[in-house]
Amino acid sequence: MLQALRQNSKNAIIYVLFGVIIAVFIINFGPGSRGCEGVGGTSYAAKIGPTSVSDLEYRYTYIAMGFSQQPPQIARQLRLKEMVMDQLINRELLAEEAEKLGFQVSQKQVEEMVEDGRMYILGSRREVEMFKKDGVFDYDRFAAFCKNHLGVTVARFIEVQQRELMAEQVRQLIAAGTRVTPDEVKADYDLKNTQVNLDFVRFQPRVGDDDAEVTPAEIAAYRKTHEEDIKKAYEKNSYLYKKIDKHAHLRRILVNAAKDAPEADVKAAQAKIDDAAAKVKGGAPFADVAKQVSDEARTRARGGDLGWRKKGYTGLGDTLDDKVFAAKAGDVIGPDRTERGFELIKVEGFREGDVPLDQVADEIAEGELRQDRAKAKAKTEADDAAAKVKAGGKLAELFPKSAAPDSDETKKPGAGAQAEETGLFSRHGETVQSIGLSSELARRAFEGKQGDLLGPIEVGGAWVVATIKERKEPDKDFFDKHKDEELHRAEQEKWKDALGQWTQRRCVEARDEGRVKVNDEVLSYDAAPAKGLLEMKYEPCTPPGLGGGLRLQ
């Protein structure tokens, strides 16, 4: 059929067009390019089972997709060559499935499609006007397009199109099994077009604010009932206890005295720290003196405990830092004058290398106990906030953003918590905009009505109290006018999802069976990696972002 039409293309205009096409061919396949190896290709780009995709066929697909027009650097960043490889592998897997199902595509079917000015590239139907002259198919134009633009023979082009049509039959078979009902479309439209705006306050556990003393008896009791939890915490934070640099356990008594303080204030501070040092020297427990004297509010109730610090990270300044790591366990250093005032330091002990669990179990137990207390306190604050909202209060008024860091407001329950607003958003799984992942909060936010109280609900380790400030309903009239379009869109989305899952599963199976082999040479780019860009080696059957290409199915 095609042979019979090839006599209709002998005129000067055609030869001019051929010249243009040949110029394009020279640019893409001229000297210096691998295209000069000849039509048909001499090496493979990929092997999928018994089928081999030649390097020239791979490159003609890349060109036909229009990707050769992209600057090499952009193509590399977008991983366009990897994407084409992904899709070629998927095409062959689909065509292979078609053969198993007994599907066939004759040469005549392809010829009729080409005569109509159509072709398929990776499942995408394309109209090709270059096949025609004055609206009528012209064989010579078609043959020149195959040879000069794509770099393949007419026979090979027909074979590839047969594979494309075989794959297309399986695509349509999958599409036939992914129909959606009008009710499903309406429900999906309502879900995507219902929007809510939440006022919310997040109550974070603040372990550092817990200045209550933890007694040895409390630690012992916690260890007895949380033995497994302590072991897990030790393993989870093994970097704190395995192969560590030398650390010192420190306590501090600080008496404030700024650099520019009046002389009388400095003398008073000096007298106060000297008195504290005398008490410690006289045998008074350092922790007890710290509770009575220290001006450092954060550690005073804990007996001045600074925890474990390594050299250079004590926060004491270079002079005291050097003295600490030259001291022995039990030594008291100072008083020394620093930028903060006068400081008295006690070195409780040292540790380095591998620290066994039994030596740090009490320390871990205290930390976990304080964490539990902080969580309980945050929950209490959230409960209190929810009760006030139920009584008619508004979160924005109860927790304004204007409270200064050192004001009396920050000393009240819930200090540091401030009202925020999500802005209007649609539901996307379990994600709640500006708040985080929470199936319960997402469900209640979209099932509730304006003004509803949500919470307290735990999200990411914090307690969230929210109210539905605004709810925007879907546009029913718009849906009624566009329901056919929405139905088509929903079917396309469902089909693409099903097709993607099918090809991914089959590709992984084929790869694991050793039936997928890729020639990495065809994936090289004529551009160096962008500075700072993490390069990933191509791995077939890998989702985008993890070594695979993009998905255009």
For 367-419, write each residue's pLDDT tens digit. 899 888 899 999 999 999 999 999 999 999 999 986 444 444 444 444 578 99
Q: Given this model, what pLDDT does residue 59 score? A: 86
Using pLDDT thresholds of 50, 70 and 90, give the confidence band for residue 551.
very low
* Chain mean pLDDT for the chain: 85
pLDDT reading at 23 higher than 70:
no
Closest listed residue to residue 204, CA positions, set 440, 374, 372, 370: 374
pLDDT on residue 60: 82
Does domain 193-207+373-472 match CATH 3.10.50.40?
yes
Between 19 and 211, where is the model more confident? 211
Tokens representing residue 54 in the block: 């030649």
pTM confidence score: 0.57
Residues 6+ apart with CB under 8 A from 495: 174, 175, 178
Tokens linked to 273: 């720290």
Class of domain 2-166+516-523: mainly alpha
Burial 5-17 (b: 16+ CB within 10 A, else e): beeebeeeebeeb
Question: In this predicted model, what pLDDT tens digit does every residue of 516-541 receive, in sequence order?
Answer: 999 999 998 887 776 665 667 888 88
Residue 344 tokens, joined: 């008295």
Mean pLDDT of 200-211: 80
Neighbouring C-beta atoms of residue 281, cutoff 10 Å:
9
Architecture category of domain 210-371 in CATH:
Roll (3.10)
Question: Whole-angstrom Cα distance, residue 138 to residue 190?
Answer: 51
CB 303: neighbour CB atoms within 10 A?
A: 19
Lowest-confidence segment of 309-323, 347-361, 517-531 by average pLDDT:
517-531
> Where along the chain do the CATH 1.10.4030 domains lie?
2-166+516-523
Strands (E), 24-142: 44-48, 51-54, 118-121, 124-127, 132-133, 136-137
For residues 517 and 540, what is the distance between their CA atoms, to the nearest angstrom? Answer: 8
In the chain, which residues fall in CATH 3.10.50.40?
193-207+373-472, 210-371
Alpha-carbon distances of 314 from 250, 259, 410, rounded to whole Å? 9, 21, 28
Measured in residues, the chain has a length of: 553
Of the candidate ranges 6-10, 47-51, 255-259, 493-497, the one whose mean pLDDT is the lowest: 6-10
Q: Give yes or no for a contact between 467 and 453, defined as CB atoms under 8 angstroms apart.
A: yes
Residue 400 per-residue DSSP state: -
What residues does 462 pair with on adjacent strands? 459
Chain CA centroid to CA 160, Å: 38
Decide: 316 and 345 in contact? Cβ < 8 Å. yes
- Torsions phi, psi of 482, nearest 5? -120, 25
Confidence bin at 329 (pLDDT 50/70/90)? very high
Q: Which helix (H) or strand (E) holds 516?
A: strand 516-518
Average pLDDT over residues 152-166: 91
pLDDT at 176: 86
- Mean pLDDT computed over 466-489: 91
Distance CA 528, CA 479 (A): 49
Q: CB count, 10 Å around CB of 260?
A: 6
pLDDT at 32: 35
What pLDDT is recorded for position 254? 95
- Is pLDDT of 549 > 70? no
Q: Please, what is the angle between helix 357-390 and helix 216-225, to 10°?
A: 90
